[in-house]
Amino acid sequence: MTQSISKMLLVLSAISAAIPVSAFAQGAKTGTSFVDNFDGIDQKTWYISDGWDNGDHQNCTWSKRQVAVHDGVLELTFEQRKAGKRDYACGEIQTKKRFGYGTYEARIKTAEGSGLNSAFFTYIGPTDKKPHDEIDFEVLGKDSAKVQVNQYISAKGGNEKQIDVAGGANAGFNDYAFIWEQGRLRYYLNGTLVQEVTDPTKIPVNEQKIFFSLWGTDTLTDWMGKFDYQGPAKMQIDRVAYTAPGEKCLFPESITCTVD
């Protein structure tokens, strides 16, 4: 296991330990198909992380002040501001319900800046009395020309793949999607299949929550780059959707309209 992968395992295994139990009060409920164009923040759907951090690797504290909607776009921000134990504040939003097999889609413009991570992922873990399962899209601000896909199964990762994002993930909105099925997991970027996993030992099986987060680090330099604060940064999410198996075309641009 490389040093960077080892550090990522430590980072992501810390997520559930850091989140207050109250954040998971509705976690046992299973979500159904939905599209959110972010005309606002639906309090029945979303929980905004606020008042904690995920451990020593994270140099910011989650703050509800870093989560807002402007002109139909969800914005997560990172800025230098004393919050909790940290000198920086960052934003994260997560669903209150869990979702299983199906199609997950988001239209995103990522932040830029070495040491920052713009993430769209699903996750479940020990706080929910489940194994750590996860499916990831992550853009590291040190190189916004690529997106990393990865998945964790019972806290075991090491399935990273770097994918080129034409024009840069931070330069405009791009469509990220994955289709999660029993025995198959497919990742898409702007409608193009970029990774397919068919090894069942590398595909999660537990229902998970949907997350968007923007955070930074001072310590994970080999993975995320040396932290170099150049001012406030912003991750924007124009749309997110989950389509349950057997349903199609919840919105015209959905990948379910063209992919079986």
Known catalytic residues are 134, 138
- Which whole-number Å values give the CA distances from 186 to 2, 104, 189, 199, 206, in the listed order? 25, 10, 10, 12, 17
CA dihedral 52, 58, 59, 64 (to 10 degrees): -40
Are 214 and 118 within 8 A, CB to CB?
Answer: yes
- How many CA atoms within 13 Å lie on the side-chain side of 158? 9
E strand spans, the chain: 34-36, 46-48, 60-62, 67-70, 73-83, 86-95, 102-109, 116-124, 133-140, 146-152, 161-164, 174-181, 184-189, 192-197, 209-216, 233-243
Nearest Cα to 236, choosing from 114, 52, 34, 66? 66
Strands 233-243 and 102-109: antiparallel
Bridge-partner residues for 147, per DSSP?
Answer: 163
- The most distant pair of C-alpha atoms in the chain lies apart, rounded to whole Å, by 48
